[in-house]
């Protein structure tokens, strides 16, 4: 069955879901998006995703034509139309149709579209055995130039780093800040476990405030695991007891090798496994019901 895509208030078959070549989302990457998950008939942390979406829109002076209630219903309607209970949802708001200039004021109405489909970012064996990473030469955007808290459509910084990982034959890579601190990976946040303590880079060095990142911190605290935001460099990654990545699509996935160096004993560690299990349990029971 062909997917039905929500596009500006209508559900249309995927082959008919088209936007203008004059849309500034296409011309300039001017817009925002969210990746959201549905599990077991519930949309996970929908409110948090909408918070980030509407905060980003305010920062860009982008007037989303749907309020939060309408946006929620549009997401649920798209899932129902495609008869999905477990899905990845891509919600996109572009600046809309304008001219060939940069001025966003010439774009009269933003474009909104929603795609809901199945996703498998990594094979299951990667979750069992762990990932191999490299450190990318491409640096994370300086937050003084572009606020990473805005999940914008312009992902060239991440794409350039992803090209490096592909050429190196590994699935992910660490991106450093302009001051050589570990920032995040090409599409996910990073955590270390050292002496039983959970550490993740602070947001102010240019990291996205990941929803799964926040959930992981909450789960760690519930398990009595100390969790903090700290600056660290690649040496601390090499010397960590455990390492894992978090993201909406990736969920929580262990890392066992970075730049050819084994992390810990080279296998997913006990804290990583415990948090993965807690996250999986939470996603099956929490969320906004799709079908009432």
- Active-site residues, by number, are 151
Please name the residues in contact with 264: beta carbons below 8 A apart, sequence gap of 6 or more: 240, 241, 242, 256
CA distance 132 to 86: 28
Q: Residue 2 has what DSSP assignment?
A: P
CB-neighbour burial class of residue 96 (10 A; exposed 0-12, middle 13-18, buried 19+): buried
User: What DSSP line would sit under 136-185, residue for residue?
Assistant: -SSPPPPTTTS-TTS-BS--HHHHHHHHHHHHHT-SEEEEE-TTS-EEEE
Backbone Cα Rg of the chain = 19
DSSP for 72-91?
Answer: HHHHHHHHHHTT-SSEEEEE
């Amino acid at each position: 069955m062909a997917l039905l895509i929500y596009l500006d208030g209508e559900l249309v078959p995927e082959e008919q879901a088209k936007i203008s070549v004059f849309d500034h989302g296409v011309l300039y990457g001017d817009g925002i998006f969210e990746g959201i998950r549905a599990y077991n008939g519930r949309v996970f942390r929908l409110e948090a995703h909408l918070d980030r979406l509407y905060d980003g829109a305010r920062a860009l002076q982008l007037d989303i034509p749907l309020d939060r209630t309408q946006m929620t219903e549009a997401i649920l309607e798209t899932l129902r139309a495609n008869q999905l209970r477990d899905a990845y949802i891509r919600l996109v708001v572009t600046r809309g149709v304008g001219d060939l200039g940069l001025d966003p004021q010439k774009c009269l109405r933003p474009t909104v579209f929603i795609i809901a489909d199945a996703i498998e970012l990594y094979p299951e064996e990667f979750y069992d055995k762990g990932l191999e990473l490299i450190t990318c030469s491409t640096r994370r955007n300086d937050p003084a130039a572009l606020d990473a808290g805005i999940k914008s459509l312009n992902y060239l910084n991440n794409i350039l780093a992803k090209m490096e990982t592909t050429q190196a034959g590994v699935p992910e890579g660490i991106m450093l800040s302009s001051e050589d601190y570990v920032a995040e990976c090409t599409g996910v946040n990073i955590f270390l476990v050292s002496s039983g303590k959970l550490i993740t880079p602070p947001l102010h060095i240019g990291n996205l405030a990941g929803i799964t990142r926040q959930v992981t911190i909450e789960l760690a605290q519930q398990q009595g695991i100390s969790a903090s935001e700290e600056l660290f460099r690649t040496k601390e990654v090499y010397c960590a007891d455990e390492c894992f990545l978090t993201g909406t699509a990736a969920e929580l996935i262990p890392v066992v090798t970075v730049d050819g160096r084994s992390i810990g004993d080279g296998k997913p560690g006990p804290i990583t496994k415990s948090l993965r299990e807690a996250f999986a349990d939470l996603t099956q029971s929490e969320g906004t019901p799709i079908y009432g």
